Chain A
Amino acid sequence: MTFTSLMLALAALPPGPLDFKARNMRIEPQERRVVLEGDVQLDRGDLNVTGEHAVAEYGKEQPAQSRKPRGKPQPRGEATVVGQSVERFTVIGNVQVKRGDRFAKGEQGVVDVPGQTLVLTGTPEFPPVVRDGPETLSGDRILLRLDSEDLDVVRPRLVLRRSLPEEGSAKPAMPVRVEADHLLLVRARRVARFSNDVVMRQGDAVVRSPRMEARYDADGQLTRLELRGGVDVRQGERRATGESADYDAKARTLVLVGDPHLYDQGDVLTGDRIDLSLESKEVRVERARGRLRPEAHGGEGGRP
């Protein structure tokens, strides 16, 4: 189960009324809202949201009498107007969103019903989190689209632990951690788009790039990370650069292309492509050329 299935899990709010439970409920007609307090639980289909408090805000005013069901007795007196459908839910305090066996949590969740979104926020100490088994995504703000199944995250922090194949591996795969300013998950295209200051970490390797796309197969397994717009890889004393790079999740190698360079304690290599294994630290340079200066270890950074 991976990121794509995680996107599926939080998708497509089914139509119909929302079931709720709470300790108390306060109806405030003047404010056109309902306040639920104490162990709030909201359910629709298999979507379950819990929290300590919730405020349901109704929509703009519409004539109440035109919406009366037939046969219902009409009380005498003045007819006030009111919206009959909740437009926004705000759930506050230990908010947990569950669908199937997938799970998200935060300090506050706001459901925009017409917009079909759920925005989770938290605190610097406890940011919002989306979790699918051991795979975890957090960020400053997580927007779950409830109609298109997409996910929009501000300053995402993601661990691609389960996305790495582990069969036949003698030791568990090192998790890949990704940070960026922004993440957009587009489920229909099975792609996660990270943008602005993307940082990928695996062990002591740090890979930076302006943008990165994570691609998944039909089973939701990560197949490839594509870094574009200039790539900078640092691992210990080693540094590599290139115009772009692809990380093959199955081979667990990063392939740098576009004038790729490798700097390693005074050695400078270039070639048509450079393959880096971030776990074993092996390097393969195709059609290599460059300068080897074993006596000058520590003087990295120059170009050939």
Chain B
Amino acid sequence: MGSQNASAKFPMVALILGTACGNPATSRISSNSLPVDAPDLSLSGVAFARLTEGRVSARGTAERLDYRRAGARLEATRGGAVIHSSPPSAFGSVRFVAEQIEGEVANRRGVASGGVRLDASRGDSARTERVYYDGDYIRSDTKVAAEGPGYTVTGNGLVARTDGSAIELSSGVAGQLQAEARR
């Protein structure tokens, strides 16, 4: 993970510095600014790339990202990423953006919420309020609006295999399929 134009805040470092100076005011500020669940790392204006076997498997940005080493948890605000599946899926690479993203890197779990949009290079796109990621699947239990080559559809839930082999909309779907007769 790298950073770009990062205005990084390192609370642990700030705490150490404040204590060493013996300044009561600094000590008060430190205790107030360090809630129990404070992240170990907090970044603003983040850009990142994930490497898998020497190749970029995902690139993304976030307005803000907090990281906790315990559980390798991260929280991002207004984040987005482009994911290149390997082997390539029929949907192609997928770009997603969301207002809020929470995840556990080690467990390969996450939740994106607050207006999630997915766009695949094949031409598919989907919008929903919240998606869950658990490694093999992306799921949504909220209303989904999707469109792609030859279809538009709305549904009340979504399950997508992360290998890109299939996307299923569920719990009542309605839409249109393009079907033109030969002229």
Contacts and interface: CB of A to CB of B under 8 A. Distances in A.
A82 B149 CA distance: 7
Nearest to B147: A72
B176 A26 contact: no
A115 B180 CA distance: 10
A28 B173 contact: no
Given A29-B122, A78-B121, A82-B149, A18 B173 contact: no
Nearest to A78: B92
Contacts of A217: none
Contacts of B119: 73, 75
B107 to A, nearest CB: 27
Interface stretch (A83-91, A254-262, A271-279): A83-91
Interface in A102-124: 113-116
Contact of A85 (B120, B174, B178): B178
Contacts of B91: 29, 80
Interface string B107-136: 000000000000111111000000000000
Contact of B84 (A77, A86, A87): A77
A86 B150 contact: yes
Nearest to B169: A25
Interface residues of A, number: 45
B169 A24 contact: yes
Interface string B124-160: 1000000000000000000000001111010100000
B179 interface: yes
A113 B166 contact: no
Contact of A77 (B93, B124, B166): B93
Interface in A7-30: 13, 15, 17-30
A92 B157 CA distance: 24
Nearest to B119: A75
B173 A84 contact: no
A174 interface: no
B127 to A, nearest CB: 13
B174 A29 contact: no
A130 B52 CA distance: 59
B72 interface: no
B179 A17 contact: yes
Given A17-B179, A113-B181, A116-B181, A26 B166 contact: yes
A40 B26 CA distance: 68
B182 to A, nearest CB: 4
Interface in B43-96: 82, 84, 88-95
B130 to A, nearest CB: 19
B37 interface: no
A150 B167 CA distance: 38
A36 B170 CA distance: 10
B177 interface: yes
A79 B124 CA distance: 12
22 contacts: A17-B179, A18-B177, A18-B178, A19-B176, A24-B168, A24-B169, A25-B155, A26-B169, A28-B166, A29-B90, A34-B177, A36-B173, A64-B123, A67-B123, A75-B94, A78-B92, A80-B91, A80-B122, A82-B123, A83-B149, A113-B180, A114-B181
Interface of A: 13, 15, 17-30, 34, 36, 44, 56, 58, 64, 67-68, 73-80, 82-87, 89, 113-116, 146-147
Given A20-B176, A44-B179, A84-B178, 14 more contacts: A17-B177, A17-B178, A18-B179, A24-B168, A25-B155, A25-B173, A64-B123, A78-B88, A79-B92, A80-B91, A84-B149, A113-B180, A115-B182, A146-B181
